[in-house]
Chain A
């Protein structure tokens, strides 16, 4: 069996999720080919590689289609990323292939596949049976990246013309941050459960007594309560310090992808909130009731 992996290449760098996909594909298939669009160094991808000139563009579904027609793989793996999903959905629809998205596991089942997806904000798991050939859009962190790293078995360069319609004009780098949350050791993060913009002050006060900084989930940033530079998750920053204290954050996959802190403590009124599954400690409580008490206790302990 052959599997084609679509590499996530951003600013000419192969992203970690590519290795996660290649590792899993190597477990399932005899032959794995990774397709990389862009000038990236592809030598550490542990598979055969096809490299095509170009940029990150939704039009890359055309490139995948041409390579797919040549290789006739049983499956095509994409990362569930902002770039990957654009390409995967269009490729699957154009070829009328079955597709599973939000995937956390894939296995071979007879002539087809079984995929496990995590949907509904992390509250429901779904098993899907797919006919081969099929398309899988896999969540970041589902498989170990180490298995996909090594040295490329071969690197073949191809020129593939893509149609007009979308033109890449360039990258826009993130704004210069007031505070870089990705470098902070202690991060107090707020989600929808904070209720109102005025309550952000509570989180700021807690962060201050802990010597940390405040970040937030997408809905809080979308509401304009915190600047974009403070967003944690797929679209925003990854936090990797000592503590991530999540206040009223449900823990959807897109958010969890940005949480790599050593210790996660979560406070949420919903005892079924997915955030508790990645936490070292979880408290079922109303954030607005608990946080003032917590600030008081911490001040006592610190003798303030």
Chain B
């Protein structure tokens, strides 16, 4: 089976993000967590069904270097080929990105393309479903388990509240992963370092079409919490929390 996992970078929320009306200026970028699960699930599917896993890193010019560690990590875990698609411009519109990637992917003959179900910056569409429509192949998101079955896929999809749906999906298809069926594999630092040296990344420039219809009018911070936060020495905070637990009749 020829598998392609999609890997993106997003602002690291542990670090500060500068917010002004026109733009966001993140301090650092990290791999999109759901995409890390997509890569893991792609590798699990390869283990089960055989074949190859290509990892397609999707970045723009500003973030082109920020994905290298995550690509090396995928290589260390068993990815066969690494590709870095550098988009010609930044875009929050997933439809534009989907159109651009569909153009790149259309003659690559992948049986299954696996992105993470969403990224934290997906406020104007989500990639998986849009990519599938641009490529005119089936899509299913929310996947937590993918099995190859008689030339098709059997996919377990989350439906909320612990309920799952089971679906048979014909190939080729796009499957959006929410969580891999096992925890992300740990890679020792020495192996990662070796992968960073050895991994070869094919870079391709991808032209993104501009589509009208949605524009950001402003970015801003959400309202501050209405409560007064307890801060200071942990001993004092613990005492105050005990008082609150009494107020709510837990103690």
A215 within 8 A of B: no
Mark B141-164 against chain A: 1 for CB-CB distance below 8 A, else 0: 110000000000010111111111
Closest 3 CB pairs of A and B: A89-B129, A174-B162, A98-B213
Chain B minimum-CB-distance residue to A225: B183
CA distance A172 to B164 in the complex (A): 5
CB neighbours of A262 from chain B (8 A): 248
Q: A173 — nearest CB in chain B belongs to which residue?
A: B163
**CB pairs A–B below 8 angstroms (22 shown):** A82-B159, A92-B95, A92-B125, A93-B132, A96-B211, A101-B123, A101-B125, A124-B220, A127-B220, A131-B214, A171-B159, A222-B37, A222-B180, A235-B178, A250-B13, A276-B225, A277-B225, A280-B248, A283-B230, A297-B238, A301-B242, A301-B246
Distance of B148 from chain A, by nearest CB (Å): 15
Interface SS, B side: mixed
Q: How many residues of A contact B (CB 8 A)?
A: 100
Q: How large is the interface on B (under 10, 10 to 19, 20 to 34, 35 or more residues)?
A: 35 or more
Question: Which stretch of A23-31, A43-51, A52-60, A68-76 is in the interface?
Answer: A52-60
A128/B214 contact (C-beta < 8 A), A164-B170, A250-B13, A277-B222 known = yes
Interfacial residues of chain A within 271-292, with CB under 8 A of chain B in the complex: 271, 274, 276-277, 279-286, 289-290
Contacts of B10 in A (CB 8 A): 120
Contact B251 A298 (CB under 8 A): yes
Q: How far is the CA of A146 from the CA of B94 in the complex (A)?
A: 33
Residues of A within 8 A of B52 (CB): none
Q: Which of A190-212 contact B (CB under 8 A)?
A: 210
Flag if B216 contacts A128 (CB, 8 Å).
Answer: yes
Assess A222 versus B183: contact at CB under 8 Å? Given A58-B138, A237-B162.
yes
Interface assignment of A114: CB less than 8 Å from any CB of chain B: yes
